[in-house]
Chain A
């Protein structure tokens, strides 16, 4: 079955006109209010629950709500943490929670209403080590807690997540590779510290105002530091107006916790596991894929424009980029280059995963791989958009095949996951520069009719990938297969 855009109705002229006029109004309207908070919506993934032993069960009594946090051990290294809120009636007796009955089609909340909810909380942190980097997932700014060492930010950072828990909604999180848990009190609530194999820690804090704060800490933060940070945090419910008045300093926007889809049945949909894999072509015949050379101009399918790659350079450092870009690199990726300005080699570790419940992870092999900077310039003419996607393709006798980029060690090692120091295991675009301001990187500005513009793309790749590099200008993100747009337009051979 082929599903094509042609099967869908075209946009009516009146909607096109509305969009055009609205965009023009928004751009010309300097009074447009710009909010400085945003919404986070994470779906937590549940893992299979095994039989286990109850470790901790704590109930916190409040004026009108009852919040409880429980943890249950799963196997040797697994832990399930649950938080529920219910009405506190008759001076502390717990009202029976509304359970989600897996045999019914009803859930005791409106999923879409929860997703759109905005809650504001004032957060006060009385203690934070000076050099700790705090990641607030963009929801809050703090007035005095932003001094940290840039070079150690990966190892000395904490990430905060805040959720509002509604009645009838069960907050559930499963951790694996757990080697220790401890319970302690925090102002207005109860906390459970979870220590993981490898040195990372997290703490779940259930507050009697109906909120859960969970914080991740990297291994460079000691247990005492972490516990003291947690004990020094207090929360108060706030309003959006209060947060805006304070420019969001020390305020946090907390989404309502929404259970994952898989934990409930919705409507009459019953999800069934299937072996049916989606068709993603990783091999095509030679005559199915057009291949252009550097300097050769070609037409971009579905766009009124042409393009050609005009320059490809392979470098060991960042000398090819201008100063603005260099400064941007240093700010965003301080660990990418060494003291001599050269790109650092990639250290790759191959791990056999324990199940996290009865066994832990183990590094079974590691290797150091030299890396290169790939700099590409593309000249676009007429109405088109800037896209770039570095692909790894193996040129076989009669076909092109997506190359998996694995080293010989990787091919000969039994492992489950790859751990890398700085780079991913596929070509990742580090920046995209459209010729204007480096801060406008990565935006999808298009070229107007009759205009010619040059955009530059930059990738860090493993040295052994150089003979497999092709450039696609129809996709914005890496693809592990031949999308139709790639087959329609073709790719540029930039192998070295």
Chain B
């Protein structure tokens, strides 16, 4: 894939990239940094992309790693989930109830939810993007859905996560 084609792919995929970043990082400033870094790395490593049809999946995977890097730089991995939500304290409160509920999930859960239900990736693709197994992704989705249901019904509090 040449740089021009990849550039068009990035522009076409920008909404999707933002949603993926926004599922891991609450702050728009962090999302901007992660997307920017992912685009830079994508162009730098473009000739390592063997199959063009996987370009978007490949770029999304780079983005996910960048998002995790930002989380890790801010706090220890163990505190990722708490930290992510804390980052949102300055954010506007006009997000949808469902988005707010998704953001209360653990980071691995909400990433899986967004990639599967909103971005339409297959389980196998998600597993490769998050360096996990198909079985693990299915479990995350099942548990995430259950937790979402409980959140939306008011049956699960933050401290229960």
A and B co-occur in one complex: yes
B:73-116 near A, CB below 8 Å: 77-78, 80-81, 95-96, 98-99, 102, 106, 108, 113-114, 116
**Given A18-B36, A111-B77, A261-B133, are A5 and B55 also a contact pair (CB < 8 Å)?**
no
* Contact residue among A23, A45, A271, A483 (Cβ-Cβ distance under 8 Å from B7): A23
B8 neighbours in A (Cβ, 8 Å): 444-446
Given contacts A33-B44, A38-B48, A41-B131, contact A26 B118 (CB under 8 A): no
How distant is B113 from chain A, measured CB to nearest CB, in Å?
Answer: 7
A373 within 8 A of B: no
Distance (whole angstroms) from the CB of B73 to the closest CB of chain A: 11
Known: A43-B132, A115-B65, A440-B2. A278 touches B19 (CB 8 A): no
Asked whether, in the complex, the Cβ of A444 is within 8 Å of the Cβ of B39, the reply is no
Please encode chain B, from 20 to 42, with 1 for each CB lying within 8 Å of some chain A CB and 0 for all others: 00100000100110011001100
Chain A nearest Cβ from B39, distance in angstroms: 5
Q: Which residue of A lies closest to B66 (CB)?
A: A116
**Cα–Cα, bound, A113→B15 (Å):** 28
A interface residues, how many (CB within 8 angstroms): 67
Tell which of A34, A41, A112, A258 touches B46, judged by Cβ atoms closer than 8 Å. Answer: A34
Interface contact B11-A20, CB-CB below 8 Å: yes
Which of B81, B99, B120 is the one whose CB lies under 8 Å from A9? B99
Query: Chain A nearest CB: distance from B116 CB in Å?
Result: 8
| Known contacts A5-B118, A37-B48, A444-B56, A385 near B22 by CB under 8 Å | no
The reply to whether the CB of A260 lies closer than 8 angstroms to some CB of chain B is yes
Q: A11–B139 contact, CB under 8 A?
A: no
- By a CB distance below 8 angstroms, the chain B residues around A37 are 48
Closest A residue by C-beta to B71: A112
Q: Point out the residue from B1, B52, B106, B145 that lies within 8 Å of A1, measured CB to CB.
A: B145
The 9 A-B pairs at the shortest CB distance, nearest first, are namely A38-B48, A442-B53, A11-B18, A3-B117, A7-B98, A443-B52, A442-B52, A23-B7, A26-B43
* B residues neighboring A (CB under 8 Å): 1-12, 14-15, 17-19, 22, 28, 31-32, 35-36, 39-40, 43-48, 50-53, 55-56, 65, 68-69, 72, 77-78, 80-81, 95-96, 98-99, 102, 106, 108, 113-114, 116-118, 120, 122-123, 127, 131-133, 135-136, 138-143, 145-146, 148-149, 152
Excluding A15-B31, A445-B8, 11 further A-B contacts by CB distance (< 8 Å) are A5-B15, A8-B114, A9-B95, A27-B4, A267-B81, A267-B106, A272-B139, A278-B142, A443-B9, A445-B9, A485-B120
